[in-house]
Structure 1
Amino acid sequence: MNGALVINKDRGLTSHDVVLRVRRLVRERSVGHLGTLDPIATGVLPLLVGAATRLQQFYSARRKRYEGRIRFGFATDTYDAEGHALGEDTRPSLTRAALEPHLAGLTGKLEQVPPPYSAKKVEGVAAYERARRREKFTLKPVPVEVYRFELGRVEGAYADFLIECAAGTYIRSLVHDLGQRAGPGAHLVEICRTASGEFTLEDALTLEQLESAAREERLPQVLIPMAELLPDLPQAEVNPGLERRLRHGGKIELTESQIRPGAIGAPIDSDAWKPFRLRVFNQQRQLVAIAQAIVPRVFQPVVVLPAPA
C-alpha cells in the first residue's frame, strides 16, 4: 500500500499510538505522521504509507488549522487543562469586544516561547522531562507565523477560537500568551485540528472506521493514492525515455507547454521561499518523481518513487 490516510484522532491517544495501530491494520511498517498532535487534541492526523513516506519532506511547511476552546481565569503549568493551576480562579465574565484587541499582537510573524511541557530540547533533554523534575530552565523563542487568530462565541470565562498557522506553532503558547495579555490568565481546554495542508476533517476516518475497512478488505478504497498527493505542485507528464532517465537520477528538460499548474485554492503551504518543484508522472498517470528546477526548464529529481511491481 502506497498513499495517505487521514485519521480523525481521538482525545487521549498520542500520535505514535495512532501510527502503531495503523501499521498493524495495513500490515505495513513504513507509516509516518505529518505533524504531532498532543494527547488532548483531536482531529486531522495525516499519515503517509509505504513508498509515500518518501514525500514527507515536502509536507514540513504545510499550514495547520485548529478550532478549540479557551478557559480564562487562571493559567496552568502545561498551558492546558491537563496541568496544575498557577493561581486562584478569578472566574471572569468576558466579552468578545474586551478580548479582541489583545489578538493583534498574536498574529503575523512572531517569536514564540514553547510551553515548558513540550518536546523542545534544553541541552539535549526534552523540556517536559525537566519540567516534571521541577528543574529551572529557559526555553528560547522560535520563529512562527500565525495567519489567523479569531474568536467565536465568548461566554463567561470561555471563548471559542479558530487559528490558522504555520507548522511548528504551539497553540497552547498562543492561548497562554492571550491570557497574559488579557489579564486573568488562560489555558487550553479543547482543541481540534480541522486541516493540515490539503487534508481536512472531511477526509478523515476514525480508527474504528479504518478497522472496519480493513476487515471488509476496503483499504484500497480509503487510501489516498500517491498521484493525488501534493496537489498544489505543478505537474508534467513524460515519455518512457524520460521516465527511465529520472528513475536513474538523471536530469530532464521540459518545455513550458509540458508543465501544468497545480490546484489553485486556499493557501495550504507556508509563505516561505521554496525552490520550484513539480510532480512528474508517466504516461500511465503514475507518480514517478518530485523534481526541482536547477536552471529554467531543466529538472533534477529530488525524490524518485519506485516503479509499480
Structure 2
Amino acid sequence: MKSATEIDGVLLVDKAQGMTSHDVVAIARRVLNTKKVGHCGTLDPMATGLLIITVGRGTKIQDLLMSEDKEYYGTLKLGETTNSQDAEGETIETRPVPDLSRFDIDEAFAKFRGDFYQTPPMVSAIKKDGVPLYKLARQGKEVEREPRFVRVYAYAVNEVRLPEIDFRVVCSKGFYVRTYAHDIGESLGCGAHLSGLRRTKSGRFVVDGAVTVDELKTLPREELYSRILTLPQVSRLRGA
C-alpha cells in the first residue's frame, strides 16, 4: 500500500449540494490520510459538480489549474433579487415578471458575451482591506467593489419556463455566475437570482466519472489512490 507521502496529483470530485468546498477538502484529508490537500476554485454550498482536489505536490499547480476556463449549467429565477444574488440569500426585492418573449430573453443574454466588466457581489470571499466582503455584508455594510474583466466564451439558453430559465455558460477565471444571473435579470427589468448551479468542466477536466462525495467517504483508500490522476497524467491532459 502506498504511504500518504507518496500521493501526488489531482482527484476529481463531484461536490454534493449543501456543503462547502472546504468540507470536501476536510473529508479528503481524513480519508487519504494526508494534510497536504487543496482545491481549485470554490463552489458555493448551493452548487454541485466538479471540484478539483489537489494532493501532495499537486498543490503546487493549484494556481495554474484555477486559472483555466469553466463550464456551468445553471438556472435563474426571475422576479426576485437576493442579497447574495443566489437562492441562499435573503430576498431584497420582488418584481412582477413581464410576459417575455424568447427574443427578449436571447437579447438579454447576448449583452453578456465576449469581454466585459463584472462587479463582484458583496457576499463573496474577495477581501477589502484584509476583510472578506461576506463578513462586511453580514454587518449590513456595502462597499465599492472593483469591477473585474471577465469573458464569456460561449452560452446557451437551454429552456424557458417562466419565471425560470435554464442556461449553459463557458467563462473565464473569476467569473461570478450568480452575478451573471442577477445582471441578466436587471437587463430584463424584473431582477433575478441564481436558483441552481452545476460545474461540469474546468480546463480539460470534466465531472463525468468524478468521485462522488459518498464514494470519497466510503471507498477503500487503495481504490481512491487509484482514482488520483498523477502529475504526468495531469500534464498530458492539459496538453502541456
Q: Normalized against structure 2, the TM-score is what?
A: 0.92
Match of residue 78 from structure 1: 84
Q: Superposition pairs for residues 289-300 of structure 1, below 5 Å?
A: none
The amino acid of 2:147's aligned partner reads P
Match of 1:90, SS?
coil
Q: CA shift at 1:161, angstroms?
A: 0.5
Q: Which has the larger radius of gyration?
A: 1
Q: CA shift at 1:93, angstroms?
A: 4.6
The one-character-per-residue Cα deviations of 1:257-305 (angstroms, maximum 9, x if unpaired) are xxxxx3xxxxxxxxxxxxxxx5xxxxxxxxxxxxxxxxxxxxxxxxxxx
Match of residue 229 from structure 2: 224
Q: Superposition pairs for residues 124-143 of structure 1, below 5 Å?
A: 124-143=130-149
Instruction: Give the Cα–Cα distance (whole angstroms) in 2 for the partners of residues 120 and 196 of structure 1.
Output: 21
Match of 1:160, SS?
strand
- RMSD of the alignment, in Å? 1.6
Q: CA shift at 1:212, angstroms?
A: 2.9
What is the count of residue pairs matched by the alignment? 234
Instruction: Give the Cα–Cα distance (whole angstroms) in 2 for the partners of residues 93 and 45 of structure 1.
Output: 38
Instruction: Give the Cα–Cα distance (whole angstroms) in 1 for the partners of residues 84 and 72 of structure 2.
Output: 19
Q: CA shift at 1:16, angstroms?
A: 0.7
Match of residue 69 from structure 1: 75
The amino acid of 1:218's aligned partner reads E
Match of residue 53 from structure 2: 47
Q: CA shift at 1:176, angstroms?
A: 0.5
Q: CA shift at 1:203, angstroms?
A: 3.0
Q: CA shift at 1:140, angstroms?
A: 1.4
Instruction: Give the Cα–Cα distance (whole angstroms) in 1 for the partners of residues 136 and 77 of structure 2.
Output: 26
The amino acid of 1:81's aligned partner reads A
Asked if 1:38 corresponds to 2:56, the answer is no
Match of residue 110 from structure 1: 116
Ranges of 4+ aligned residues in structure 1 off by more than 3 Å? 91-95
Instruction: Give the Cα–Cα distance (whole angstroms) in 2 for the partners of residues 158 and 222 of structure 1.
Output: 37
The amino acid of 1:145's aligned partner reads R
Conservation of the 8 A alpha-carbon contact between 1:147 and 1:164: yes
Match of 1:83, SS?
coil
The amino acid of 1:226's aligned partner reads L
Match of 1:8, SS?
strand
Match of residue 218 from structure 2: 212
Match of residue 191 from structure 2: 185
Match of residue 27 from structure 1: 33
Match of 2:236, SS?
coil
Asked if 1:159 corresponds to 2:154, the answer is no
Match of 1:176, SS?
helix
Instruction: Give the Cα–Cα distance (whole angstroms) in 2 for the partners of residues 166 and 156 of structure 1.
Output: 28
Q: CA shift at 1:89, angstroms?
A: 4.3
* Unaligned residue ranges in structure 2 (runs of 5+): 1-6
Percent identity between the two aligned chains: 36
Instruction: Give the Cα–Cα distance (whole angstroms) in 1 for the partners of residues 97 and 107 of structure 2.
Output: 20
Change (3 A) 1:107 1:47: same
Match of 1:230, SS?
helix
Greater relative contact order: 1 or 2 (C-alpha under 8 angstroms, separation 6 or more)? Answer: 2
The one-character-per-residue Cα deviations of 1:22-63 (angstroms, maximum 9, x if unpaired) are 000001111110111111110000111112222223213211
Q: CA shift at 1:97, angstroms?
A: 2.4
Instruction: Give the Cα–Cα distance (whole angstroms) in 1 for the partners of residues 225 and 94 of structure 2.
Output: 53
Conservation of the 8 A alpha-carbon contact between 1:144 and 1:169: yes
Match of 1:229, SS?
helix
The amino acid of 2:66's aligned partner reads S
The amino acid of 1:24's aligned partner reads R
Q: CA shift at 1:218, angstroms?
A: 1.3
Instruction: Give the Cα–Cα distance (whole angstroms) in 1 for the partners of residues 194 and 65 of structure 2.
Output: 26
Change (3 A) 1:206 1:93: farther
Match of residue 170 from structure 1: 176
Instruction: Give the Cα–Cα distance (whole angstroms) in 1 for the partners of residues 149 and 236 of structure 2.
Output: 27
Conservation of the 8 A alpha-carbon contact between 1:96 and 1:153: no
The amino acid of 2:135's aligned partner reads E
